[in-house]
């Protein structure tokens, strides 16, 4: 068989999904739907609600009736521990106390379902936004296009699943960070800072990400962040409650949530549910050192040992300093390197907070995306990253998922910082590859469809 004279040049066609790829995507979609049904049942149709979403919904009810959002508790007795604006924005999904009438409110099960679907959309929006920013040339629907989006989710599946199952806010947080990054890549610097400020107004600790525009000397992004912070933390609460109550609500954010994490003489009324050494599945360096100092959980004091505090802040300061130094020396304009740097800051953000839960590992998704997409960008036409990057990501995903299993052994792995150590390793790997190009790039060409004549 020979190519006929005068035939049109061969047209490159993207590698399409195989039958196995399509079956895998369908099965994963069914898993997401099934998990959503289970989450809704566990959250709204059991005698004990197994979700954190109730905290936001109850605070939204308080915001709707003009009450203090930090006083009510959900049906499990948990308080709201976020900035006031989030409670205001959640008003459409408000949930009053069971002994009050529900006229004008959605059924709680419907609210849980809406929040779950929205959170799934946020995960997809985050990975799609980041992949589009780093690999804009990937042909939509090709294997390369799909693998750029689904593989980071698979790597972070443990943390993402825990976030979705518990109705947490991390999916929205990551979507806001992704929007900020994409705006930065597109030159929309004011919007970039505003998106990052939105993440900080949601959960406080992303305030650390102001270092991203600072490290890049991006004054417009910083200005956008300041304007967005004023609107989100000042103007919106003031419009709903008035200026005096808005100021008081923000003061409570500091006195009830921030100060107790760093000062022993601060308000410790929420120690058992938030700040105490035995209160939560704390994954911070502080929590791990505390567990090593007091291996017997039943005898472990609820007050953090000074040694654990010094170790935490010392390690956190070191991680932050090394990240900024690496950014100063090795950060390039390449969107892939920019995303790895932002992702490294997200990992440090998760490690630096004194109270870091297992579901916080979902905040490492930007770093996972950055490493995976960087590996793909160096392999044009390939549907995957290089073997070393793939192995590191798979190892991190496994090491952070293992402590999620029940049982004494897994409880100990969780408490002693197993996942924390793995995340520090991933952070170090990210900084190590940032700004480096391989001597030779192995290129996997796209299949070419050639028209032939008989």
Model pLDDT for residues 12-65, shown as the tens digit of each residue:
455 888 889 899 999 999 999 999 999 999 999 988 888 999 999 999 999 999
pLDDT of residue 190: 94
User: How far apart, in Å, are the Cα atoms of 367 and each of 16, 91, 340, 347?
Assistant: 27, 32, 5, 7
**Which tokens belong to 171?**
């999916």
**CB of 184 within 8 A of CB of 192?**
yes
Query: How high is the pLDDT of residue 287?
Result: 82
* CA dist., res. 246 & res. 239, Å (int): 9
Distance of alpha carbon 140 from alpha carbon 315, whole angstroms? 42
Between CA 256 and CA 350, with CA 309 as vertex, the angle to 5 degrees is 70
Q: What does the pLDDT read at residue 444?
A: 43
- What distance in Å separates the CA atoms of residue 451 and residue 287, rounded to the nearest whole number? 64
- Distance, CA of 221 to chain centre: 21
Question: Nearest-CA neighbor of 166 among 216, 116, 220, 200?
Answer: 116
The per-residue pLDDT for 130 is 97
CB 369 within 8 A of CB 342: no
At residue 429, the pLDDT reads 96
pLDDT for 450: 39
Residue 442 has a pLDDT of 43
Q: Which residue in the block uniquely carries the two structure tokens 């709903």? A: 240
- Ranges in the chain, pLDDT < 70: 1-14, 259-280, 438-454
Q: Please report, for the chain, the start and end positions of each structural domain, with discontinuous segments joined by +.
A: 116-167+276-439, 168-259
């Amino acid at each position: 068989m020979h190519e006929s004279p005068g035939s049109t040049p061969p047209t490159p066609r993207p590698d399409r999904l195989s039958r196995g790829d399509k079956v895998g995507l369908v099965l994963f979609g069914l898993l997401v739907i099934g998990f959503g049904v289970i989450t809704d049942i566990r959250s709204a149709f059991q005698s004990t609600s197994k979700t954190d979403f109730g905290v936001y919904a109850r605070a939204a009810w308080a915001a709707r009736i003009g009450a203090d959002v930090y006083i009510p508790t959900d049906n499990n007795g948990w308080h709201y521990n976020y900035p006031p604006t989030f409670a205001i924005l959640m008003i459409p999904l408000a949930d009053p106390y069971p002994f009050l009438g529900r006229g004008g409110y959605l059924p709680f099960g419907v609210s849980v379902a809406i929040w779950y679907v929205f959170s799934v959309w946020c995960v997809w929006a985050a990975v799609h936004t980041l992949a589009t920013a780093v690999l804009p040339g990937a042909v939509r629907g090709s294997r390369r296009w799909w693998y750029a989006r689904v593989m980071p989710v698979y790597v972070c599946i443990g943390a993402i699943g825990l976030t979705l199952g518990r109705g947490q806010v991390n999916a929205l947080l990551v979507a806001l960070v992704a929007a900020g990054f994409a705006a930065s890549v597109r030159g929309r610097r004011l919007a970039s800072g505003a998106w990052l400020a939105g993440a900080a107004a949601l959960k406080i600790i992303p305030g650390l990400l102001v270092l991203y525009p600072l490290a890049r000397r991006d004054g417009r992004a910083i200005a956008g962040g300041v304007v967005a912070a004023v609107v989100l933390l000042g103007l919106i609460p003031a419009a709903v409650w008035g200026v005096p109550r808005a100021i008081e609500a923000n003061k409570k954010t500091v006195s009830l949530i921030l100060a107790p994490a760093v000062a022993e003489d601060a308000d410790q009324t929420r120690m058992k549910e938030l700040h105490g050494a035995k209160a939560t599945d704390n994954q911070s360096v502080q929590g791990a050192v505390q567990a090593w100092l007091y291996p017997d959980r039943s005898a472990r004091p609820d007050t953090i040992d000074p040694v654990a505090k010094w170790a935490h802040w010392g390690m956190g300061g070191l991680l932050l300093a090394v990240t900024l130094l690496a950014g100063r020396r090795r950060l390039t304009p390449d969107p892939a390197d920019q995303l790895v740097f932002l992702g490294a800051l997200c990992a440090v953000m998760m490690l630096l907070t004194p109270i870091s839960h297992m579901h916080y590992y979902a905040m490492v998704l930007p770093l996972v995306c950055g490493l995976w997409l960087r590996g793909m960008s160096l392999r044009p036409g390939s549907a995957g990253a290089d073997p070393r990057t793939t192995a590191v990501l798979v190892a991190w995903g496994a090491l952070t998922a293992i402590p999620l299993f029940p049982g004494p052994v897994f409880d100990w792995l969780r408490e002693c910082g197993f996942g924390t150590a793995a995340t520090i390793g991933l952070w170090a790997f990210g900084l190590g590859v940032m700004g480096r190009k391989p001597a030779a790039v192995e290129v996997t060409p796209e299949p070419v469809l050639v028209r032939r004549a008989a």
